[in-house]
Chains A and B, each alone.
Chain A
Amino acid sequence: MIFFVILVVLVFFAQIAEFFIPPLDWLYNAHVYIVPVIVFYGAMALPFPLMLGLTFFAGLLLDALTVQLVGPRVEISLGSSILLYAVLAGIMHGLRPLFVRGRWEVYAVMTGLGTSAIVLAQYLMISFRRGSVFFSREVWWQIGGPGLIAMLIAPIMFFALHWLARATGYPYLTTRDRFE
Chain B
Amino acid sequence: MSRTSIIALLIFGAVLGYLLSFGPDSTRKFQASIYQLIAPFLTSGSGIQKQITSVRTGLKSLEELERDNTSLRVENRQLKATNQALRDVEHEVNRLRHALNYRERSIFKLVPAEIVTRDSSTWWRTVTINRGKEDGVESDMPVVTDEGLVGKTTTVSANISVVLLVSDENCKVAASVEGTREQGIVAGERVTGGLTPMLNLNFLSKQANLKPAQKAYTSGVGGVFPSGLLIGVVKDFRVRELDGQAKLTPGVDLSHLEDVFVVTGRK
Give the shortest distance, in Å, between B198 (CB) and chain A (any CB).
12
Contact A77 to B22, CB < 8 A, known contacts A66-B121, A70-B170: yes
Type the 1/0 row for B142-164, where 1 means its CB is closer than 8 Å to any CB of A: 00000000000011000000101
CA distance A130 to B191 in the complex (A): 13
CA distance A62 to B28 in the complex (A): 14
Q: Which of A114-164 contact B (CB under 8 A)?
A: 119, 122-123, 126-127, 130, 136-139, 141-143, 146
Q: Which of B121-142 contact A (CB under 8 A)?
A: 121-124, 126, 128, 140
Q: Does B4 lie at the interface of the complex (its beta carbon under 8 Å from any beta carbon of A)?
A: yes
**Cβ of A75 and Cβ of B121 under 8 Å apart?**
no
**Main secondary structure on chain A at its contact with chain B?**
helix
Give the shortest distance, in Å, between B31 (CB) and chain A (any CB).
5
**Cβ of B193 and Cβ of A138 under 8 Å apart?**
yes
By beta carbon, the residue of chain B nearest A139 is: B191
Contact A18 to B120, CB < 8 A, known contacts A29-B193, A71-B140: yes
**Cβ of A79 and Cβ of B16 under 8 Å apart?**
yes
- Choose one: B20, B49, B192; the contact of A79 (CB below 8 Å): B20
**Cβ of B124 and Cβ of A66 under 8 Å apart?**
yes
Q: Does B209 lie at the interface of the complex (its beta carbon under 8 Å from any beta carbon of A)?
A: no
**Cβ of A64 and Cβ of B34 under 8 Å apart?**
yes
Type the 1/0 row for A43-84, where 1 means its CB is closer than 8 Å to any CB of B: 000011100110010001100111111111111011110110
CA distance A64 to B28 in the complex (A): 9
Residues in B neighbouring A74, C-beta threshold 8 A: 23-24, 27
Contact A19 to B191, CB < 8 A, known contacts A69-B27, A71-B140: no
**Cβ of B12 and Cβ of A56 under 8 Å apart?**
yes
User: Interface with A: B37-45, B80-88, B94-102, B200-208, which one?
Assistant: B37-45
Q: Does A22 lie at the interface of the complex (its beta carbon under 8 Å from any beta carbon of B)?
A: yes
Give the shortest distance, in Å, between A60 (CB) and chain B (any CB).
8
Give the shortest distance, in Å, between A122 (CB) and chain B (any CB).
6
- Choose one: A19, A64, A79; the contact of B31 (CB below 8 Å): A64
Give the shortest distance, in Å, between B114 (CB) and chain A (any CB).
14
Q: Does A5 lie at the interface of the complex (its beta carbon under 8 Å from any beta carbon of B)?
A: no
Number of A-B contacts (CB under 8 A): 134
**Main secondary structure on chain B at its contact with chain A?**
mixed
CA distance A67 to B123 in the complex (A): 9
- Choose one: A65, A69, A130; the contact of B169 (CB below 8 Å): A130
Give the shortest distance, in Å, between B42 (CB) and chain A (any CB).
6
Give the shortest distance, in Å, between A23 (CB) and chain B (any CB).
8
CA distance A80 to B2 in the complex (A): 26
Residues in B neighbouring A25, C-beta threshold 8 A: 194-195
Give the shortest distance, in Å, between B219 (CB) and chain A (any CB).
19
Contact A31 to B122, CB < 8 A, known contacts A64-B30, A139-B191: yes
By beta carbon, the residue of chain B nearest A142 is: B122
- Choose one: A71, A78, A127; the contact of B20 (CB below 8 Å): A78
Residues in B neighbouring A139, C-beta threshold 8 A: 191
Q: Does A172 lie at the interface of the complex (its beta carbon under 8 Å from any beta carbon of B)?
A: no
- Choose one: A20, A53, A79, A142; the contact of B22 (CB below 8 Å): A79
- Choose one: B123, B155, B192; the contact of A126 (CB below 8 Å): B123
CA distance A1 to B30 in the complex (A): 28
**Cβ of A65 and Cβ of B22 under 8 Å apart?**
no
By beta carbon, the residue of chain B nearest A146 is: B122
Residues in A neighbouring B194, C-beta threshold 8 A: 25, 29
CA distance A51 to B128 in the complex (A): 31
**Cβ of A65 and Cβ of B120 under 8 Å apart?**
yes
**Known A19-B42, A23-B119; further 11 A-B contacts with Cβ < 8 A:** A48-B5, A56-B16, A61-B34, A68-B126, A69-B155, A71-B140, A78-B22, A86-B12, A119-B122, A138-B191, A138-B193
- B interface with A by C-beta (< 8 Å): 1-2, 4-5, 7-9, 12, 15-16, 19-20, 22-24, 26-28, 30-31, 34-35, 38, 41-42, 45-46, 49, 117-124, 126, 128, 140, 154-155, 162, 164, 168-171, 190-195
In the complex, the 6 A-B pairs of residues with the closest C-beta atoms, listed nearest first: A49-B8, A79-B19, A66-B121, A19-B117, A64-B34, A138-B193
